[in-house]
Structure 1
């Protein structure tokens, strides 16, 4: 019989996970509100929110895979890519979430211990 080792996922890692999940939903919510209420958002076309949401969704799936494989550097690359994805749509919330995720991945010992165990 094969034994399975259960390793507790630290709260900062759960925060990273939840923030990135929410970040994947927000562009679609913003798109709905802006298009249904005919809100003008300057020179940005609302379709950029859809593109941004799709990119965040793909990055979230990648993040989940990298967390399960315990590949911290790949997860950090995902966070950096999220910053690049946010720039065209001026998605400042996405940039903040990515920066928080990067900081937690570098400066929280519980996160680095989880990936190194």
Structure 2
């Protein structure tokens, strides 16, 4: 399989979408922390300080996983990036965070597109 410079050297749009979605997930989680802590927001059984602390810990977890994901993107290691997204999905399931689950599933799905696979298999 030959890969030309044009298809593997530059970061594809779908990889940028993965990056933006995961960064947005961190901001949304901090937003939920603020809503639970200062505005009395409730979501099902989640309410009050315990929900706020759950969101805060989740935001820091997402932030740590995001940093590791960036490292794997820079090193062009597909398996590592998919592993981080899978860990992110597991974290979202345990919180429970439906928005995080959807973003993780979409991100994982985008890693299987041809342009993203070309980027990670490019040897420059």
> In structure 2, the residue corresponding to 1:8 is in which secondary structure?
coil
- Give the TM-score normalised by structure 2: 0.84
Distance 1:10 1:42 in 2: 39
Please name the residue that 1:69 is paired with: 75
Q: How does 1:72-87 map to 2 (within 5 A)?
A: 72-87=78-93
How far has the Cα of 1:37 moved from its partner? 1.3
Please name the residue that 1:110 is paired with: 115
Structure 2 residues without counterparts, runs of 5 or longer: 1-7
Equivalent residue pairs, number: 111
Please name the residue that 2:95 is paired with: 89
Of the two structures, which has the highest relative contact order with CA contacts closer than 8 Å and spacing of 6 or more? 2
Please name the residue that 1:3 is paired with: none
Structure 1 residues without counterparts, runs of 5 or longer: 1-5
Map Cα deviations across residues 26-64 of structure 1 (whole Å, 9 max, x no partner): 111111022211122333322110111000000100010
Runs of 4+ aligned structure 1 residues displaced above 4 Å come to none
Q: How does 1:8-47 map to 2 (within 5 A)?
A: 8-44=10-46, 45-47=51-53
- Give the TM-score normalised by structure 1: 0.89
